[in-house]
Structure 1
Amino acid sequence: MNRVIKVALLLLGVVFIVLQGFAYKAEGDAIGTLMLVLLIVMYLKWTEDKNRYFIGFLILFSIGHLLDFYSWYGPAIDEGNIDYYYYGVNILSILSYVFLTIRFASKLKFKKVFAELAIPMVILIILDIFCVVLVTDTTKGALLSAHEYALEFIYNAIIMTLLSVALITYMYRNDNKSMLFLIGSICIVFSEIIQLAYYYIVVDDKELGFIYAFFLVVAFVFFYLQSQLPFTGPQPSYSEERLEV
């Protein structure tokens, strides 16, 4: 059964990428929601060491996709009114990424990490601020209100925080689980940035649709793979013994 679900997810992933690439957004959202539900079932049934934060990430992200799908068939939002679908989907996505970030950040001993990686952490914070401002400003002309701009800013800030935590975790632990999480986080960042261009800059560009959907699918592949591995770090170069020297 486990193998059947994996094959189904692989096939659905290809269908999702194709649908998003050809701008069949409603159908793509439906397939994406089904994929996430199957992923949750597979994680809960066949994962020995389950993590509540990772489960929360999967559930919230799934609900966000389901709401996005419902927006195509639910009551229409009149022009000038608050787009509750837009806010709901983005808030759910933000919360899901917060859960994923907490899942790894909670395993870091920040005093020891900062003592060993102070300069890289400071550089990461500066780069995060620069990237968040730069990326958010590219959508400024397409956003209708200050609230939408603030939401996009927070969204991008959470994404960059996720990537920074993934990088710091890998630098600290240097194990396979952290490496897979870092690769997945990089793919998520690429997917989200390309998705911004897909929706706000070069609207419905087929190539961008294929690319952002591909990175999203690959990101979840790596997130699931890391969820099946235990932490084995930190490696000697960042071990407690060295930090206490």
Structure 2
Amino acid sequence: MLVNKFLKIVLLLLGVSYIILQGFVLEIEGDAVSAVAFILLTWLYMGWTKHKSKLFILFLVSFTAAQVLGFLAWFRSIPVEGQTDYLYYIVNILSIISYVLLITKMFIHLDFKTVFSELTVPIIILVILDVFCVTLISGTTENAFNYSEYALEFTYNAVVMILLSFALINYMYRNNYKSMLFLLGSIFIVFSEIIQLAYYYILSDDANLGYIYSFFLVVAFIFYYLQSQHIVSEPTPAYTDDPIEGQALN
């Protein structure tokens, strides 16, 4: 129990340090802190969570691997022009896989017959918004990538938006505390990814974006960890103003 509390304090300090380092554009140091923090977070979840999810463990492992490789990338030989940066693809593919695992975790617990019957209109609206947002966001960085890099970034953005859409559908379907925490985590993940994209490829001279996207990332994983401590439960009936069925009439 003491180790559990100690790890949480260390993770909180590492999170604050990561935000400060990214804000001061100390990216190597920030990536080092991020890699250590995610290793400890994975250890914390696996060692002190009562009801573990295999998919959530795989999510943490995949995301942590991406962070570790992202840090190690600073010490590789910089690829010359025209040479494929394989590490860039590996890091991004690992991140995509991690988000797909989160989507899968929600997917397997949804009753799609009920979801489609009750949430048909919201689902259609979400699909339209996803297509619009992914196209718009990816289009802003089209000139910064070659074809294969752009295809990877487009896929990355699409998966992140699908994650948010599933989190929203999951919350509307379940209407409980766990799904609310998961939705909040996904919202902050999307904001973090969008701002990070702007920071690296559009407004690279705006150091304030470093503070913002790193803060959103830390907050997102706080919510993800908190929701992971709750088991998946049956949907909570939505509040209604209708009289209770069976109530005696005066």
Matched, 1:70 2:72: yes
Distance between the aligned counterparts of 2:113 and 2:234, measured in 1? 17
Distance between the aligned counterparts of 2:218 and 2:133, measured in 1? 23
Distance of aligned partners of 1:25 and 1:204 in 2 relative to their CA distance in 1, 3 Å threshold? farther
- Secondary structure of 1:5's partner? helix
C-alpha displacement at 1:24, in angstroms?
1.1
Aligned to 2:155: 154
Amino acid at match of 2:200: Y
Aligned to 1:28: 30
Aligned to 1:84: 86
Residues matched between the structures, number: 237
Distance between the aligned counterparts of 2:169 and 2:234, measured in 1? 13
- Secondary structure of 2:74's partner? coil
Counterpart of 1:17 (choices 6, 16, 19) is: 19
Aligned to 1:235: 236
Distance between the aligned counterparts of 2:198 and 2:86, measured in 1? 22
Aligned to 1:241: none
Distance between the aligned counterparts of 2:51 and 2:236, measured in 1? 22
C-alpha displacement at 1:75, in angstroms?
2.8
Aligned to 2:247: none
C-alpha displacement at 1:76, in angstroms?
2.5
Question: Which has the higher mean CA deviation after the structures are superposed, 18-27 or 217-226?
Answer: 18-27
- Secondary structure of 1:187's partner? helix
Matched, 1:201 2:191: no
C-alpha displacement at 1:160, in angstroms?
0.5
Amino acid at match of 1:212: Y
> Could you report, residue by residue, the CA deviation over 1:107-158 in whole angstroms, capped at 9, with x for unpaired residues?
0011111011001001100100000000000111211x11111111100000
- Secondary structure of 1:180's partner? helix
Asked if 2 retains the 8 angstrom alpha-carbon contact of 1:23 and 1:204, the reply is no
Distance between the aligned counterparts of 2:104 and 2:19, measured in 1? 29
Counterpart of 1:110 (choices 112, 127, 132) is: 112
Asked if 2 retains the 8 angstrom alpha-carbon contact of 1:184 and 1:218, the reply is yes
Amino acid at match of 2:133: C
Asked if 1 retains the 8 angstrom alpha-carbon contact of 2:138 and 2:157, the reply is yes
Question: Which has the higher mean CA deviation after the structures are superposed, 108-117 or 228-237?
Answer: 228-237
Question: Which has the higher mean CA deviation after the structures are superposed, 101-110 or 161-170?
Answer: 101-110
Unaligned runs of at least 5 residues, structure 1 = 239-245
Asked if 2 retains the 8 angstrom alpha-carbon contact of 1:194 and 1:212, the reply is yes
C-alpha displacement at 1:232, in angstroms?
3.0
Asked if 1 retains the 8 angstrom alpha-carbon contact of 2:192 and 2:217, the reply is yes
Aligned to 2:248: none
Counterpart of 2:96 (choices 89, 94, 101) is: 94
Aligned to 2:10: 8
Distance between the aligned counterparts of 2:151 and 2:47, measured in 1? 39
Unaligned runs of at least 5 residues, structure 2 = 240-250
C-alpha displacement at 1:205, in angstroms?
2.1
TM-score by length of 2: 0.93
Aligned residue runs from structure 1 range 201-220, under 5 A:
201-220=202-221
C-alpha displacement at 1:77, in angstroms?
1.4
* RMSD between superposed Cα atoms in Å: 1.1
Aligned to 1:243: none
Amino acid at match of 1:196: L
TM-score by length of 1: 0.94
**Which of structure 1's runs of 4+ aligned residues deviate more than 3 A?**
none
